[in-house]
Chains A and B, each alone.
Chain A
Amino acid sequence: MINTLREILEAALDRLHHQVTTYLPSTLAAVILLLVAYALATAARWFIYRVFKGMTIDKFLRQSGVAFLLDRSGRLRATRLVAETVYWAILIGGFLIAVSAFDTQLTNQMVEGFVLLLPKLVVAGLILLAGAWLSQYLGRSMLVWAVNENLPSPRRLAAALRIIIMFVAVVVAADQLSFARNVFLAAFIILVGGAVLAVSLAVGIAGSQGLRRLIEERKEQRESEGERSLWTHL
């Protein structure tokens, strides 16, 4: 009995010893790699903040409206963008190297999978960013136009347009990542088809009278404006 107990304890200690001798150096190496990566990332960020100016990128960010899209204050500058990108790239790179220090099948698969996925992630991120920019731009175009043309519910029209554009961007990004491709595609077809059907029915059944009234009102309004022929803005 005592011998059996001793054997079990010795086996457990052996396993522990084996695991410690197997994984502790790897863990320590991983921690050291992470710390080095963190230090490198921080140093690189500090250096870029002081050296890199990127005025052309600044101009692009401002003029395209991306600066205000990513940062509501509009203070986003190329220096910050580049510094933060480099910082996170080094951190992620350090993390992957740290994980690969374990040299197990699981960690190797993780690293390999991440490396293969990374370009797709970047492209998907850019697609979402472009979608966000486009939805804001076209949404605002719709909003301002609808207000100035005195159309009903301008904010709803703009919001609907934004949702559709963002949804398309999400579908494309998901397709890029091969993530629930069929689900998104089916949802997209159902949504667009449903929307078109709903609009057709609404205009065809209930909206025709209203639309006619709206067109007549606008025609009358324009005619009455034409009568005051001498009022000019310029």
Chain B
Amino acid sequence: MASITLPHEARQAAEVIRRADIVIGIPSYNNGRTIGRVVQAAYAGLAKYFPQFTSVVINSDGGSTDNTREAVLSARLEDQHLLLLNTPLFAAHRLSFPYHGVPGKGSAFRLIFQLAARLEAKAVAVVDSDLRSITPEWFDLLLRPVLFAGYDFVAPYYHRHKYDGTITNSIVYPLTRALYGYRVRQPIGGEFGLSTRLINRYLQRDDWETDVARFGIDIWMTTIALAEGFRVCQSFLGAKLHDAKDPSSDLTAMLEQVVGSVLMLMQEYESVWWDREGSRPVELFGFRYDVGLDPIEVHVERMLAAFVRGCRDLGEIWAVALEPETYAGIQALGRQAAAGVRDFHFDDELWARVVLDFACAYNKHRVAGGHLIRSLTPLYLARVASFVGETRTLVPDQVEDKIEQLCLAFERLKPYLKAHWDGPGARNRGSRKPERAATPRPGSEVTGND
């Protein structure tokens, strides 16, 4: 078990509060503009939906230089003029601490989970601090399946703009689905509901100091829940609107942390995904409705220019990482992009092969892991450029169909992945049972749809 070292002031606070049924965790870094509203939503959600529970709102801050922590501690529920039918039996506590260790969302979550374990919380919800569309209902949707239906992990399900969440749509969702066989639509959404059992499992692990400490935390949490057989469901939260936290200048680091975590876990859970075929839906709670989304502008030309640069200069890495057929396909695409072809098209199957080849190369250590994943950036941008071009005139349902087609391409190529994967599973070639099978059971008190 990883050593648990709570900061002194957090330990003191835990000793004063002693127990809490619900913990709401909000990681932050310079989110003074939005975090007050998130805390208000948390307070309102707790008062409205869980008045009978003791609860704590914990802000785990990465050393903000704005007024983030002051905004957390000064946010008041009265400001919202809520009509509450039940008077909360217990006032929710609020805490704000700076976390220690590697700067990043994962380290912030670690402090929240440690405190939740210390307070023996029955359920934990974590939400991002830059949300503009959060409502009190989100906390009900994230916590109720854990508190009343025995789920361990509640993933978010949102409506997002078709160009939003492109790492999710083009890599993480299709790959996670093809590997572990469950259709968790937003595996790195950022808002989750968690049970004590799962929190304790997370805290037992010793890989908190890896990319998990940063953007890798979301996929790490989702993958562990799926691979180790915890009960998983999704809750429909409406629209996700949030402040920019990932301009393109950070793209490579973000891609490295997220994809690096996916591939690291892929190695660890090889015995789990090896024999899984196809995919099944994961129960979805909440009333689904359509929402309007802000328009998003993207610069396709800039992405294609990055791809052309990659084709010109990264050949020595791609030639090692990719299978010869895949690499030939990429070179042909590069020539098209360089020639300025109007309808640039990055085929689903070719993209799936690229991602799977990179996974195999990572596993075989053909190229240093960091170099390999960072060299994926131009390919990823080309795929996004193609996706933007192909979906420019499509409505959300049609876009979702496109993503579904990509997921099916990943699932079809699983034998290809197994054929090129080099590991105990590939060497044994035998059919082995997964260590634990994730088999979500239907909810009891919560109504499911989908």
Contacts and interface: CB of A to CB of B under 8 A. Distances in A.
Contacts of A65: 365, 367-368
B374 A148 contact: yes
Given A148-B377, A229-B244, A140 B249 contact: no
A230 interface: yes
Interface in A137-167: 137, 140-141, 143-148, 150, 154-155
Chain A, interface SS category: helix
A231 B163 contact: yes
A230 B249 CA distance: 15
B241 interface: yes
A67 B365 contact: yes
Nearest to A147: B313
Contact of A234 (B168, B247, B298, B367): B168
Given A67-B365, A148-B374, A232-B244, A140 B258 contact: no
B188 interface: yes
B298 A232 contact: no
Interface residues of A, number: 28
Size bin of chain B's contact surface? 35 or more
Nearest to B169: A233
Contact of B314 (A137, A144, A229): A144
A226 interface: yes
A68 interface: yes
Contact of A74 (B218, B249, B366, B368): B366
Contact of A232 (B245, B252, B255, B368): B245
A63 interface: yes
Contact of B365 (A62, A155, A225, A233): A62
A233 B254 contact: yes
Given A230-B294, A232-B245, A143 B314 contact: yes
Nearest to B166: A233
A228 interface: yes
Nearest to B297: A228
B298 A230 contact: no
A74 B363 CA distance: 12
B309 A147 contact: yes
Contacts of B374: 144-145, 148
A50 interface: no
Nearest to B371: A140
Interface string B88-101: 00000000000000
A228 B364 CA distance: 38
A132 to B, nearest CB: 14
Contact of A62 (B163, B364, B371, B375): B364
Given A147-B378, A228-B296, A234-B254, A140 B242 contact: no
Given A137-B368, A231-B163, 15 more contacts: A62-B365, A65-B367, A68-B365, A68-B366, A137-B371, A143-B313, A147-B378, A150-B306, A226-B247, A232-B244, A232-B245, A233-B251, A233-B254, A234-B168, A234-B188
7 contacts: A62-B365, A140-B316, A144-B314, A148-B377, A230-B294, A233-B251, A234-B218
